[in-house]
Amino acid sequence: MIIFGIETSCDETAAAVVESGTREICSVVASSKEFHEKTGGIVPEVAARKQVEFITPVISECFEKYRKEKKFDTLEDCYRGIDAVAVTVGPGLIGSLVVGVEAAKALSLFLNKPLIPVNHLVGHIYGNFVNNTQELLLPAIVLLVSGGHTDLVLMKDHGNFEYLGGTLDDAVGEAYDKVARLLGLSKYLGGAILSKKALECDENTIKGRLPRPMVDQDNFDFSFSGLKTASKRIIELNQYPQEVIAREFEEAVVEVLVKKTIRAARKFNVKTIMLGGGVSANIHLREEVKKEADKLGISTQVPPIRLCTDNAVYIASAAYFNNKSVGYENVEVNPSLGIMDKL
Ligand code: KG4
Ligand code: ZN
């Protein structure tokens, strides 16, 4: 089954073609990130306008890539090759989501193929299933860490998830972004830049100065707003180099995420630990999870870095494994969709 996926939940406009949920045929991602960098944060109206500007060229380029990849003579051959269209319906910015959903409806009508709505958060998990030669054993604990979410989920099977816990306040990516801004490293989405800065520190001379929120609590919830405030205080002291604070912040975050994930993995006796979401691109987090999981004989699965941040490959993959195609008139955006919400 070949699915054409569309993703427009925030500031990326993406389209992809994926075969049998696991084989990426082609992918196109356009981003309006540079415009939000100028304003020091995302302006939803600007993001939506950029989605409108990008969506048709991105879909068109994706079809062209698909044609070349399959060595089809004409675009008509490509259209015939698609079995379904998939689209992110939430969570995300309403103006951005609407652009992708309306484009997907039109495409599904044009191709006369079913439309599959996809939960963006579930989509992130499927970055683990694409282009993966290793068999992925379930049940698994999934740690979903993005700019808007921090969730621990037990994945029993495709479409069968149990929510274990999540953040009570800020998402981990949001904390990264705010601390990167406080450190003067980046005005917008500074997670990766902060992490790079932390690598410049040879020795964490302030280890333990920042809190490890909720780390010893016997639950699967998180809290990052106190850590952000504590980081602000240390930065304002003006006593420590940026890279030392960056490293201590990253160690605090990773320690909490890894301890709680490992505790969940033990409690539910899972075969695999999976990461998903933009923050799963973090090298330190990937290494620490693997190190601790290896000790327990649990396998670790992380998406390739390229598939950690928003794209349509994992949307098409999630659609294949959770296929709930509906008439296009029944597909609606839901900006506040949670990971457990039914579509
Ligand atoms: O999943 P994503 O692309 O968008 C949402 O769905 O939210 O995640 C974006 C988040 C941002 O907060 C960004 O700073 C963070 O992921 N991020 C990272 C890294 N790469 C991206 N955080 C820490 N380390 C990284 N290497
Ligand atoms: Zn995302």
- Residue reference for tokens 């929120």: 213
Output the CA–CA distances (angstroms, integers) from residue 328 to 16, 52, 103, in the order listed.
19, 20, 11
Cβ 13 under 6 angstroms from ligand 1: no
Domain with CATH 3.30.420.40 in the chain: 2-126+307-330, 136-302
Output the CA–CA distances (angstroms, integers) from residue 307 to 121, 127, 130, 174, 273, in the order listed.
13, 6, 9, 19, 17
Cβ 177 under 6 angstroms from ligand 1: yes
Q: How many distinct helices (H) and strands (E) make up the chain?
A: 11, 10
Closest atom of ligand 1 to CA, residue 277: 1
User: Could you tell me the distance, in angstroms and rounded to a whole number, from the CA of residue 276 to the centre of ligand 1?
Assistant: 10
* Tokens matching residue 330: 């029944």
Cβ 12 under 6 angstroms from ligand 1: no
CA 245 to chain centre: 26
CATH of domain 2-126+307-330: 3.30.420.40
Closest atom of ligand 1 to CA, residue 281: 26
3-state helix, strand, coil split of the chain in percent (to 5) is 45, 20, 35
Per-residue pLDDT of the chain (343 residues; tens, 9 = 90+): 999 999 999 999 999 999 999 999 999 999 998 899 888 889 999 999 999 999 999 999 999 999 999 999 999 999 999 999 999 999 999 999 999 999 999 999 999 999 999 999 999 999 999 998 888 999 999 999 999 999 999 999 999 999 999 999 999 999 999 999 999 999 888 999 999 999 999 999 999 999 999 999 999 999 999 999 999 999 999 999 999 999 999 999 999 999 999 999 999 999 999 999 999 999 999 999 999 999 999 999 999 999 999 999 999 999 999 988 888 888 999 999 999 998 8
Q: Whose CA is nearest to atom 1 of ligand 1?
A: 278
Closest atom of ligand 1 to CA, residue 195: 24
Measured CA to CA, the distance from residue 179 to residue 194 in angstroms comes to 8
Q: Which mutation among 36, 176, 224, 302 tests ligand 1's pocket best, with the greatest number of atoms within 8 A of CB?
A: 176
User: Could you tell me the distance, in angstroms and rounded to a whole number, from the CA of residue 241 to the centre of ligand 2?
Assistant: 31
Closest atom of ligand 1 to CA, residue 124: 1
Cβ 147 under 6 angstroms from ligand 1: yes
Measured CA to CA, the distance from residue 128 to residue 341 in angstroms comes to 21
* Tokens matching residue 91: 């969570």
- pLDDT score recorded for residue 41: 86
- pLDDT score recorded for residue 256: 98
From the CA of 148, the nearest ligand is: 1
CATH of domain 136-302: 3.30.420.40
